[in-house]
Amino acid sequence: QVQLVESGGGSVQTGGTLRLSCAASGYPDNSYCMGWFRQYPGEEREAIARIFVNGSISYSEAVKGRFTISQDSTKKTAFLQMNSLKPEDTAMYYCAADPIAATPWGPRCRSHFDYWGQGTKVTVSS
């Protein structure tokens, strides 16, 4: 079955950096779309970064310019480089994956994700 395992979370001071990793298993190389989400206590998960089939990337406004998403060549390991961290970045961070969809217009990433990791905690202190 599909499994996603995040790592790299921790505690840093304002302005610090962290690099999150997400290792996926249970599906063929280059067959899934991946993204990163975060969740504050009592709130819904919010998308912060994702990579599309054509390699394009989207970021939320809150992290644009500070965070960078990347993948390895198999597209089964995703990374989130987080720079210039702020206290408001304190949250649980989740990796997500979803099968690439075959459409009349070619392969596409869907708008939702079916598979999730267990999350990794990021704490940024002021």
For residue 86, name the pLDDT band (cuts at 50, 70, 90): very high
Residues of the chain with pLDDT > 70, as a percent, come to 100
Predicted confidence at residue 39, as pLDDT, reads: 98
CA 37 to centroid of chain Cα atoms: 5
Q: How far apart are CA 88 and CA 116, in angstroms?
A: 23
| Ramachandran bin of 75, using left for φ above 0, alpha for ψ from -120 to 50, beta for the remaining angles | left
- Please provide the average confidence, as pLDDT, over all residues in the chain: 96
- What's the rounded mean pLDDT across residues 96-117? 94
* 40-58: pLDDT as tens digits: 999 999 999 999 998 999 9
Number of residues written out for the chain: 126
Predicted local distance difference test score (pLDDT) of residue 17? 98
pLDDT value at residue 126: 92
Burial of 45 (0-12, 13-18, 19+ CB in 10 A): middle
Tokens of 24: 């996926």
Q: What is the pLDDT of residues 60-69, one digit of tens each?
A: 999 999 999 9
Contact 10, 18 (CB under 8 A): yes
H-helix or E-strand containing 117? none
Report the pLDDT value the prediction gives residue 96, as an integer from 0 to 100.
97
Task: For residue 97, name the pLDDT band (cuts at 50, 70, 90).
Answer: very high
Distance, CA of 14 to CA of 94 (rounded, Å):
21
Predicted pLDDT of residue 63 = 98
Provide the CB-side half-sphere exposure for 120 (13 A, CA): 19
